[in-house]
Structure 1
């Protein structure tokens, strides 16, 4: 039996043909209504796990709708401490920000980041890649037992391959991108079977809500109940 320290939800937005971006530029895949759903989903978790690449390509804030009067922490997976010191996420006052760096991250890069009570650096045991199970254990010890992975490419693929994901929300935008960047960037080592839990329509956008089929995953003490208004029917 495979025990996971946190309940992990994955979320992504795709074009109809499964692209998250074009090769040379991003594409707009959300509208105001679908963004509201994403913010509600963010507000239902204790932490949002994102990849540092999001901050190297743009300057996102990951806004969330408050749930039980709290904002989720923003956990940035950044093995080399590449996060720009002027990133807007470090200047906002709503979210606690945790930068997860690898054992070989240069201390000079960490020291250049601004000091704040709402920002901390968490050193992970991983070297070539962040050790995801160790990360989830560290977050659970901080009381963050329900997390949302809002990423794409290598980080999202590893969460699926390591067997940590229990739920998946896929938002499909009314766009055919053609050639572009795939959701996971690379092929999974093994297929992941899903069970459809709900379908939600937001104008021309459609959200598919899945549970990951597995008889082996046991989440230690984490809630599986979705936030009100998040689950489809």
Structure 2
């Protein structure tokens, strides 16, 4: 593990594995140090989306492995290590069967949070089968027993739908201050539309999918005066370009 990454983890107060060779001299260490400072100063929500030039995160059938290159995957795993918890929606958990760990980089695994009010994700999926990290299922009803590393969390409104700010409040009551919203597009869009995202990370791959699932879908606006505008910095991640957008 590189000294740069060790310093980031140390600044976050997280366990630091032994320092060895620099695993990636081209990684955006300045960005990670800045994120670490922000996360120690205040509760922070980071949303991450990987997409094509035409704004697609997957084909129409949901195939997304892989829109982005290996450097972007390393970046995503570093964001997981920075975060205290990582959130995904039921569709992402069901289709992609993710593990949501930091296996590509040194660092601690975040608490895994799955928004699954209708219990779509099969118990055979990795989040339930692999006890690599604490896993919370956001639902009002959990039939049957859960594995020992799993628990249930409620954050629904009167209509039974999960409310983003209630979910963040419930997580912070557990001491989870830095939250990563990883997917899918609908989940990220919900937090973004609610004004709850502090940093939006968009990794853009040099490809055109042409049709498929969009990365972000927000309410329609009539004039560009109502468009979201923010300070943005860009970083090279191999062939991809990362946009670091500061929303607040």
Are 2:203 and 1:171 equivalent residues in the alignment? yes
2:127 paired residue among 59, 67, 89 = 89
**Residue 66 (structure 1) shift:** 4.4
Runs of 4+ residues deviating >4 angstroms: none
Aligned to 1:191: 227
State the TM-score, normalizing by the size of structure 1. Answer: 0.78
Determine which structure has the larger helix proportion and give its number.
2
Within 2, Cα distance between the matches of 1:143 and 1:135?
13
2:246 corresponds in structure 1 to 211
SS in 1 for 2:241: strand
Partners in 1 of 2:194 and 2:217 — Cα distance? 16
Q: What is the DSSP-based 3-state SS (H/G/I as helix, E as strand, rest coil) of the residue aligned with 1:150?
A: strand
Match for residue 44 of structure 1? 82
Residue segments in structure 2 that go unaligned for 5+ positions in a row = 1-41
Task: Write the distance in 1 (CA, Å) between the matches of 2:216 and 2:134.
Answer: 27
SS in 1 for 2:183: coil
Matches of 2:62 and 2:46 in 1, distance apart?
27
More strand by share: 1
For residues 159-185 of structure 1, what are the alpha-carbon distances to aligned partners after superposition, in whole Å with 9 as ceiling and x for unaligned? Answer: 111110000110011211112211124
CA RMSD of aligned residues (A): 1.9
Structure 2 CA distance for partners of 1:128 and 1:114, relative to 1, 3 Å: closer
Q: TM-score, length-normalised on structure 2? A: 0.74
Match of 1:200 in 2: 235
- Give the match's secondary structure for 1:98: strand
CA deviations 1:9-46 (Å, max 9, x no partner) are 10000001111111124132122222111101111010
How many residues matched? 199
Contact 1:11–1:150, Cα closer than 8 Å, also in 2? yes
Partner residue, 2:168: 136
After TM superposition, give the deviation of residue 74 of structure 1 in Å: 0.6
Counterpart check, 1:119 vs 2:150: yes
What is the rounded CA distance, in whole Å, between the counterparts of 2:116 and 2:220 in structure 1?
22
- 2:193 and 2:218 in contact (8 A); partners too: no
SS at match of 1:136: helix
1:7-46 to 2 correspondences below 5 Å: 7-27=44-64, 28-46=66-84
Separation in 1, partners of 2:122, 2:43: 29
* 2:136 corresponds to: 98
